[in-house]
């Protein structure tokens, strides 16, 4: 077993002492990097890139060559599960992901197969194993999945949506159907994440990208409860180390106390929640992750530096010494100058030392 040279990310998630604040960025491997664009062109298209073990490993490692990041995250897509369930994922240029088939009836749900991630999504597990080996203990590897609610919205709508018309119609008109779909997806996510952990993921994150589109009672019933089921079904220790679980609901900061019922180790925050208030609200019971507005990286070096320092001041305002991971409040965008994230990363490491020394 390779010794982990830098484990501050895992330590912070478990609220153990750290020497400086760990940092990674959601979508850190992506279209803002010219080397990523070149590798994607080599693969031919996005899905081919995800399914090519060597190239998926390459793009995962690319941001670590540029920035002193404290974690790598598997390069894949949140819609691999619906694709493996037979919905036929494809990508339209400029329109994002789409499915050839949708799930809108009881018969559609009944036809969904039981997922066996080790065979149905073997290309993901091959990538996890290859990345873990290539990292050689440099930093931990994060595995991930979309939440059942988020996956369901894509499966019901047939792609991205602004109003979730068909999903919310099912929620309010035929809630028993939506619960059946969400339960199937929760079982699928448990299988998927446990397979990633078996293949080498050292922490996992559940991306509840569209949880914030729900009303407050519906968030608990149709999103949080299924994430709680997932967390309860995950392998939480491997090779003598705890496997931390991060839960991230975009637009869900107002439900932070309620989210604690899911029993995750850490909770991600978007940029709309004041970090000092969030730290006070959770009272040291869990770690927090986030929450710089990704658009900050469009700014000048001074603007980025000042914003990062303010974020860190908020994170440590109440005297905590750990339990915080710096990140963006959502994924880095394709229009960011690739020189700017270095300012973000370096400022986090340098400035946080005054609080943790």
Show pLDDT as tens, one digit a residue, over the chain (357 residues): 678 999 999 999 999 999 999 999 999 999 999 999 999 999 999 999 999 999 999 999 999 999 999 999 999 999 999 999 999 999 877 778 999 999 999 999 999 999 999 999 999 999 999 999 999 999 999 999 999 999 999 999 999 999 999 999 999 999 999 999 999 999 999 999 999 999 999 999 999 999 999 999 999 999 999 999 999 999 999 999 999 999 999 999 999 999 999 999 999 999 999 999 999 999 999 999 999 999 999 999 999 999 999 999 999 999 999 999 999 999 999 999 999 999 999 999 999 999 997
Gyration radius from the chain CA atoms: 19
331 within a domain of the structure (yes/no): yes
Task: Quote the Cα angle for 20-73-280, to 5°.
Answer: 45
234 within a domain of the structure (yes/no): yes
Active site residue 163: no
Tell me how long the chain is: 357
2 within a domain of the structure (yes/no): no
304 within a domain of the structure (yes/no): yes
Give me the domain span that covers residue 274. 8-356
| Annotated binding-site positions for substrate | 27-31, 77, 154, 209, 330
DSSP per residue, 307-351: HHHHHHHHHTTT---SSEEEEESSPPPTTS-TTHHHHHHHHHHHH
Residue with tokens 């009272």: 283
229 within a domain of the structure (yes/no): yes
Pairing, β 245-249 against β 241-242: unpaired
Total of domains in the chain: 1
117 within a domain of the structure (yes/no): yes
Q: Of the listed 11, 15, 67, 77, which one is catalytic?
A: 77
Starting at the edge strand that comes first in sequence, how are the strands of the sheet with 287-292 ordered? 72-73, 141-146, 203-208, 245-249, 266-268, 287-292, 324-328
74 within a domain of the structure (yes/no): yes
pLDDT of residue 357: 79
CATH of the domain at 323: 3.20.20.210
pLDDT of residue 124: 98
Active site residue 154: yes
| Annotated binding-site positions | 27-31, 77, 154, 209, 330
pTM passes above 0.85: yes
Q: Of the listed 32, 36, 67, 154, which one is catalytic?
A: 154
Active site residue 108: no
Active site residue 132: no
Active site residue 67: no
Query: 245: Cβ–Cβ under 8 A, 6 or more apart, which residues?
Result: 203, 204, 205, 206, 231, 234, 236, 264, 265, 266
Q: Of the listed 8, 40, 104, 279, which one is catalytic?
A: 40
1 within a domain of the structure (yes/no): no
């Amino acid at each position: 077993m390779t010794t982990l040279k830098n484990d501050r990310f895992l330590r912070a998630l478990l609220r153990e002492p750290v020497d400086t604040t760990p940092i990674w960025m959601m979508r850190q491997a992506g279209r803002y990097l010219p080397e990523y664009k070149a590798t994607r062109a080599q693969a031919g298209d996005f899905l081919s890139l995800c399914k090519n073990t060597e190239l998926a490993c390459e793009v995962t490692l690319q941001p670590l060559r540029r920035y002193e990041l404290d974690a790598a995250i598997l390069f894949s897509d949140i819609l691999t599960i619906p694709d493996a369930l037979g919905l036929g994922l494809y990508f339209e240029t400029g329109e994002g992901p789409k499915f050839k088939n949708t799930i809108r009836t009881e018969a559609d749900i009944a036809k969904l197969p039981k997922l066996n991630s080790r065979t149905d999504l073997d290309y993901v597990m091959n990538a996890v194993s290859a990345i873990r080996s290539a990292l050689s203990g440099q930093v931990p590897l994060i595995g991930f999945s979309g939440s059942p609610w988020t996956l369901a919205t894509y499966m019901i709508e047939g792609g991205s949506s602004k109003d979730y018309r068909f999903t919310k119609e099912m929620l309010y008109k035929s809630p028993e159907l939506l619960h059946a779909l969400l339960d199937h997806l929760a079982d699928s996510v448990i299988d998927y994440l446990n397979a990633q952990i078996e293949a080498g993921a050292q922490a996992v994150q559940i991306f509840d990208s569209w949880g914030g589109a729900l009303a407050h009672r519906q968030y608990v019933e149709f999103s949080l409860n299924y994430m709680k089921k997932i967390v309860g079904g995950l392998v939480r220790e491997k090779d003598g180390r705890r496997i931390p679980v991060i839960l991230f609901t975009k637009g869900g900061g107002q439900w932070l106390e309620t989210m604690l019922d899911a029993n995750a180790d850490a909770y991600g925050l978007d940029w709309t929640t004041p970090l000092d208030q969030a730290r006070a609200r959770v009272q040291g019971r869990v770690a927090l992750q986030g929450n710089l507005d990704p658009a900050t990286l469009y700014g000048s070096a001074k603007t980025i530096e000042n914003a990062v320092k303010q974020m860190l001041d908020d994170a440590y305002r109440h005297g905590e010494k750990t339990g915080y991971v710096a990140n963006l409040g959502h994924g880095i965008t394709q229009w960011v100058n690739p020189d700017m994230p270095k300012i973000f990363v370096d400022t986090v490491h340098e400035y946080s030392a005054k609080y943790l020394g």
